Amino acid sequence: MIDFQKLTEIIRNNQTFLVTTHVNPDADAIGSEIAFCEVMIKLGKVFKVINHSATPYNLQFLDSKNLIEKFDINLHEEYVSNSDVLVALDFNRADRMVSMEMLFRESTKLKICIDHHQNPEDFVNFKFVDSKYAATGHILYDFIKQSKIVKLDKSIAAPIYAAIMTDTGSFRFERTTAELHRIIAELVDTGINPTEIYNEIYDESRLSKIKLLGKSLTSLKLIADNKIGYMIITQEDFKTLNALESDTENFVNLILSVEGVKVALLFIELKNGFKVSFRSKDDLPINELAGLFGGGGHLNAAGARFINSNMSQMIPQILNEAEEFLINYTKG
Ligand SMILES: [Mn+2]
């Protein structure tokens, strides 16, 4: 149970807030930030939203007031250090802030984390964390409803809707309960437009993204009796197609849509290493596999980063580990 009363106290008793989220923010990250800021606005608080990453182009509509700033140490050091409260949304490990990590860690002010991932690191004073929630936006919904700190209007409902819609794979993942649909109904009742929100996020893809998807799909391979599928995206692919790392979101889920595939891995080469997105079906705890490589996440969705490592050299080893993981798990 999350202590919403404590969270209410922290918000009421402080004046200046710094809000941030993880690298490569998704719609839950950005939506949660915007919903949290709408609460700040209604309460007359002073706040800044500062992220390591720029907001992906398909999520910019959520930030219609241009609240989000991209981190610049020269511009933001003073504000971050002097904020009464530092708010970490939708992540649970300090290194997910990348360039902001040190400044966040060094701050002696109050730090809080609101999140729904498993196994949180100890990097804040207060955790408002529960992995049973479908999205961080879902936690914020419950917080606003239970605390009655502000009225839940359209300006809050829209980003929360975007957060829940995307983190539930458009209302199809496991945590999409009847209760969650009732919450969605209430959000829609505020007057938001679900069709518009979906279209903004998913149906406004740039051509380069679709081309990159095509390129990645041609790399799709199945191993381990067709139970493990993987795709590879290289820096060369990004360059030749003029595509971005953020374009790869959701690609990994397509691997999982292949008949018989239980485990999906998407290898993405970065400028300084590579990252792997892991997905699984049923009760396969894929976050445990990601954990072997210092990563983490949820039961069915996780990730790991390999800084300064050579992707093509590492892939065989990671695939071996994945096979072993699958064998051990199906045995038990
Ligand atoms: Mn999330």
- Report how far ligand 1's centroid is from the alpha carbon of 258 (Å): 25
Ligand 1: distance of its center to the CA of 225 in Å? 32
**Burial class of residue 200 in the structure, from the number of CB atoms within 10 Å of its CB (0-12 exposed, 13-18 middle, 19+ buried):** middle
The Cα 131–Cα 139 span in angstroms is: 10
In angstroms, the first-to-last Cα distance of the chain is: 31
Q: What tokens were used for 145?
A: 């409803």
Which pLDDT does position 208 carry in this prediction? Answer: 95
Instruction: Give the pLDDT of residue 297.
Output: 87
CB 17 within 8 A of CB 83: yes
pLDDT at 121: 93
CA of 145 to the centre of ligand 1 (A): 19
Ligand 1 centroid to Cα of residue 28, in Å, is: 5
Pick from 93, 95, 179: nearest CA to 134:
179
Q: 110 — phi, psi (to 5°)?
A: -70, 130
Contact 242, 208 (CB under 8 A): yes
Q: How far is CA 331 from CA 50, 219, 323, in A?
A: 46, 30, 12
**Homologous superfamily of 4-202:** inorganic pyrophosphatase (n-terminal core) (3.90.1640.10)
The mean pLDDT of 92-102, rounded to a whole number, is 96
Looking at residue 60, the DSSP 8-state letter turns out to be G
Distance from the CA of 36 to the center of ligand 1, in angstroms? 14
Amino acid at 252: V
Q: Binning pLDDT at 50, 70 and 90, where does residue 8 land?
A: very high
Q: How far is the CA of 181 from the centre of ligand 1 (A)?
A: 17
Q: Are 49 and 59 in contact (CB under 8 A)?
A: no
- Cα(23) to ligand 1 centroid in Å equals 12
Query: What is the reported pLDDT for 315?
Result: 98
What is the model's pLDDT at position 154?
98
Can you tell me the mean pLDDT for 29-49?
A: 98
Q: What's the CA-to-centroid distance between 34 and ligand 1, angstroms?
A: 14
Please tell me the distance between residue 332's alpha carbon and the centre of ligand 1 in angstroms: 30
- Model-level pTM greater than 0.85? yes
Torsions phi, psi of 42, nearest 5? -65, -30
Please name the amino acid found at residue 112. I
Indicate the SS3 state at residue 321: helix
89 CA to middle of ligand 1, Å?
9
Instruction: Find how far residue 48's CA is from the centre of its chain.
Output: 20
Nearest to 70 by CA among 86, 87, 52, 57: 52
pLDDT band with cut points at 50, 70 and 90 for residue 332: low
**188 Cα to the center of ligand 1, angstroms:** 20
Closest to 279 measured CA to CA, from 227, 217, 207, 212 = 227
Fold assignment, 207-329: Diaminopimelate Epimerase; Chain A, domain 1 (3.10.310)
* Residue 246: per-residue pLDDT: 86
Paired tokens of 282? 């049923």
CA of 271 to the centre of ligand 1 (A): 25
C-alpha 205 – ligand 1 centre gap (Å): 21
Give the tokens for residue 150: 């502000």
Distance 312 CA to ligand 1 centre (A): 29
Unique residue bearing structure tokens 């050579």: 310
Q: What is the mean pLDDT of residues 110-114?
A: 98
Per the prediction, the chain carries an average pLDDT of: 96
Ligand 1: distance of its center to the CA of 257 in Å?
A: 21
Q: Residue 250's pLDDT is what?
A: 87
The CA 135 to ligand 1 mean position distance, Å, reads 5
* pLDDT tens, residue by residue, 156-211: 999 999 999 999 999 988 889 999 999 999 999 999 999 999 999 999 889 999 99
Q: What angle, 0 to 180 degrees and rounded to 10, lies between the N-to-C axes of helices 4-12 and 27-43?
A: 50
Sequence ranges of the domains in the chain: 4-202, 207-329
The fraction of the chain above a pLDDT of 70, given in percent, is 100
Bigger pLDDT: 90 vs 118: 90
211-245 pLDDT tens trace: 999 999 999 999 999 999 999 999 999 999 999 99
> How remote is the CA of residue 104 from the centroid of ligand 1, in Å?
20
pLDDT for 217 equals 98
